[in-house]
Structure 1
Amino acid sequence: MISGLSTRLLNICISSFCKARNLEKAEALIMDGIRLGYLPDIVTYNTLIAAYCRFLGVDAAYSVLDKMKEAGIHPDVITYNTLITCATKKKLISRTLDLFHEMLESEIVPDAWSYNSMIHCYFKAGRSDDAYQIIQEMFSRNIAPTLATYNTIINGLCKAGDIGDALRLFRKLDVLCCPPELITYNILIDGLCKCGKVPEARRVLKELGILGYTPNAITYTTVITGCFRSGQANLGVELFSEMKHKGYNIDAFAYCTMISAFSKLGMTEEAYAYTDQMLGCGAPIDIVSYNTMMNSYCKAGDLVSAFRLLNEIEDGGQKSDEYTHTILIDGLCKIGDVDAARRHFRYMETRGLGSSIVARNCLIHGLFKAGQVDLAIKLFSEMKVKDSYTYTSVLHGLCKAKRFNVAVRLLSACLKDGVKVLRSARRAVLAGFRKESRKLKSTICLAKGLHT
């Protein structure tokens, strides 16, 4: 008789392989376990399904169900919850609905997590009425909605722009025996800020303190971001100072919010000041924070400081990413140093990061702007993957170089293949081509007149 300890040990090993993304070894271990008499259970396969969802997608994860059936193990509510959550995150709405109905047909009773996922799915699909019906179905099955359920609804309403309904539901939470927690307040404040209702967001922030809740750094940072988006930079600075005065642990994310906001407003001196504060406060700085600072330097045209940051990243043992080098390439192109941008792009390729479509787009745009049209076209032709911005940038560049015949052929290919191109690019190509055609006709008529 096989002891339960053996299966638990098998599950621990499977989980370790899955965390290390070594799914082949995890599957092989299950087979070895079966061969040795250590039989897998539902936990074994649910662990494998969760890993497949995280790293390979819902289709690969769903294929594990066949292996479960072969082993005589029936999926449970956790199995389907994992698959449904994965499908919802990937915005596979119809697949999410199919999985939910399949779960019901298999007589597996959904739990609150299942319904929360479905509510989230319906809001993503823009079907808020169906999301509300899920609540009714929960009551009919004697499953009480949790605070997570109401948080999901409030979040969905905010993202749909129904901020009034979100506020009304928020005010009813105490009556519904689900008093709001800090995460609820953060969701609502974020929704209010994104809808441009910064004064209301500030009122909710003050209400937090009155009710005895302690706002965290995320709460303040959300309102600060909203202030900058609505053009209230002074208010954003005031809130940041209040945050520091109250003794909150200001992390790199909060500083990056200030740096990014001032950079977008073109207030480079202020951005530099917060960069210095961030570097001087001893807050742990990750690559996202470095990229934000680097972006502010590049927008100010200070490439020396930007490359100094790159050296600091690499000397500190951190790994730069595609975005790091793309920022630098774009910055070099904007100051007109396309030769340095090309050299850095080649350096990026040697680091194994040369597949970045954004970096290539920036370089193509810079080459056209510098008048190096042939090099831009060569880089464009070498690209295996192109997006809408690539084609739009190339069409505008060809028009500026007055290569309208090439531009017309490329535009025709885009329209034929269903590639989306901005209207401005289409208009530029067609207007330029007509103008050149009229010039050509005038030249022909003049030539004919001279020869008569």
Structure 2
Amino acid sequence: MREADIYPNVITYNSLIAGASNRSLFSRCFDLFDEMTMLGIPPDVWSYNTLMHCFFKLKEPEEAKRVLREKIMPKLSPCSTTFNTMFNGLCKNGYTSDALKLFRSLKQNGFIPQLITYNILIDGLCKSGRLRAARRVLKELEESNLEPNASTYTTVMKYCFRAGKFEEGIEVFYEMKNKGYTYDAFSYCTVSSAFAKTGRLEEAHKCYELMIEKGIELDIVCYNILVNMYCIQGRWEEVYNLLNEIEQAGLKCDEYTHTTLIDGLCRAGNVDGALKHLRYMDTLGFDSNLVAYNCMVDRLCKAGYINKALRIFDTMDIRDSITYTSLVHNLCEERRFLKASQVLLVCLKQGMKVFRPTQRVVVKGLHSSGLYSEARKLQSKIRLAKILRS
């Protein structure tokens, strides 16, 4: 450009800064910004929008707020992207209260939010566990001239279900459905899974009938939920029909399909069938069958086959904190506190965590069994592990 006597302007630098930001080259962004101002090119609102985004990415929300307060508001005309960048950055940095307060203040001063603004706030509030506040913002959205989309409702549903508020999540689904809003396969899958988890299998099945009526193609996630429902009901012929249907649809069963089958077989008391399927799963070449093994260990323990569970545990190449917590908990249920403490010690040695209530049960169980020396040794190891993690 310089060789051709073409001089860069604010658009040139904004493009360079945005490109550097997209590649997380934040120090380069600041260098370009400084270079632009040194050349006498005044930054515009888009320059500062990107600068705020960089500060949020660097976990410096106070600096981003300072840019809005001192650079944009007094001298420039902020656009919707300015405020959406601020809301998104505040929420992702854990400042949802500040984002909501700013939103209220701006609305009082004539700011007209877009759908993306509401979705950013709803997502941020849900992620921070503030479901009631998220529902209030959703209600405001419904009362505005804007129309919530599938993403809006699905976000609220998903976090209601994660928080164990199944009825509230299902209520959001019906609200979405009754108002005629667009919903997708993920929405149906989310609510069907919630119905299944609360034992409302007939309603879960109706969701799938609705999906088929709407012409929505089932993917492997949908099929996995159906497989799980049929396993819970013990409808094994339909389970295997579904597996054939998956194959005919050109899909491939994933590790969760097989894990669901293993769990269902264990629940039905067919432990040998579950073990056989676990061995078959090992031949399929998945990156990890950890979820299936964890499920098998837990189900064997609960079915009273704790020694079989221990043998499978010993063969596992990969274990996580869930593996250890489940086994330790089940050993305590059988009052095998010494074995539980040995498993817990191995877990601590490998730098993994077992939930504190489970740790306390083991220590208390050792005391009640008169194994005071083992209890003291375990308590010492727990304290040491805690210090090393801090």
Aligned counterpart, 1:207: 143
The Cα of 1:418 is off from its aligned counterpart by 3.1
Aligned counterpart, 2:6: none
1:286-305 → structure 2 map (5 Å cutoff): 286-305=219-238
Is there any run of 5+ residues in structure 1 with no aligned partner, and where? 1-75, 85-98, 440-452
Call closer, same or farther: CA 1:404–1:160 in 2, change over 3 Å: same
Number of residue pairs matched by the alignment: 341
After superposition, give the CA deviation of every residue in 1:285-320 in whole Å (9 maximum; x if it has no partner): 222222333344445554544443332212210122
Aligned counterpart, 1:81: 21
Aligned counterpart, 1:239: 175
1:118 equivalent in alignment to 2:51: no
The one of 122, 146, 168 aligned to 1:189: 122
Aligned counterpart, 1:353: 286
2:125–2:131: 8 Å Cα contact kept in structure 1?
yes
The one of 96, 108, 113 aligned to 1:180: 113
Call closer, same or farther: CA 1:293–1:137 in 2, change over 3 Å: farther
Aligned equivalents of 1:406, 1:234: Cα separation in 2: 43
The Cα of 1:103 is off from its aligned counterpart by 4.9
Instruction: Look up the equivalent residue of 1:100 and give its one-letter code.
Output: F
Aligned equivalents of 2:339, 2:117: Cα separation in 1: 55
State the secondary structure of the residue aligned to 1:418: coil
Call closer, same or farther: CA 1:265–1:371 in 2, change over 3 Å: closer
Instruction: Look up the equivalent residue of 1:104 and give its one-letter code.
Output: F
Call closer, same or farther: CA 1:220–1:433 in 2, change over 3 Å: closer
After superposition, give the CA deviation of every residue in 1:165-188 in whole Å (9 maximum; x if it has no partner): 333322455688974221112223
Aligned equivalents of 1:371, 1:311: Cα separation in 2: 33
After superposition, give the CA deviation of every residue in 1:34-66 in whole Å (9 maximum; x if it has no partner): xxxxxxxxxxxxxxxxxxxxxxxxxxxxxxxxx
Aligned counterpart, 1:330: 263
Higher relative contact order (CA 8 A, sep 6+): 2
1:129 equivalent in alignment to 2:62: yes
1:26-425 → structure 2 map (5 Å cutoff): 77=17, 80-84=20-24, 100-101=26-27, 103-104=29-30, 112-113=49-50, 115-122=52-59, 128-136=61-69, 139=72, 147-158=80-91, 163-173=96-106, 179-191=112-124, 194-197=129-132, 200-208=136-144, 211=145, 213-224=146-157, 229=165, 231-232=167-168, 235-236=171-172, 238-243=174-179, 246=180, 248-353=181-286, 355-425=288-358
CA RMSD, Structure 1 to Structure 2 (Å) = 3.7
After superposition, give the CA deviation of every residue in 1:330-350 in whole Å (9 maximum; x if it has no partner): 233333322222222222222
Call closer, same or farther: CA 1:297–1:143 in 2, change over 3 Å: farther
Instruction: Look up the equivalent residue of 2:131 and give its one-letter code.
Output: G
Aligned equivalents of 2:135, 2:287: Cα separation in 1: 45
Call closer, same or farther: CA 1:391–1:283 in 2, change over 3 Å: same
Identity value in percent:
40
Moved more, 350-359 or 218-227: 218-227
Instruction: Look up the equivalent residue of 2:323 and give its one-letter code.
Output: T
Q: Could you tell me the TM-score, scaled by structure 1's length?
A: 0.63
Moved more, 146-155 or 157-166: 157-166
Aligned equivalents of 1:299, 1:131: Cα separation in 2: 51
Aligned equivalents of 2:188, 2:359: Cα separation in 1: 41
After superposition, give the CA deviation of every residue in 1:347-397 in whole Å (9 maximum; x if it has no partner): 222221262221111111122223333432232223232211111112223
Instruction: Look up the equivalent residue of 1:116 and give its one-letter code.
Output: H
Aligned counterpart, 1:430: 363
1:399–1:432: 8 Å Cα contact kept in structure 2?
yes
Is there any run of 5+ residues in structure 2 with no aligned partner, and where? 1-15, 37-46, 373-390
State the secondary structure of the residue aligned to 1:437: coil
Call closer, same or farther: CA 1:207–1:159 in 2, change over 3 Å: farther
The Cα of 1:102 is off from its aligned counterpart by 5.7
Aligned equivalents of 1:223, 1:418: Cα separation in 2: 35
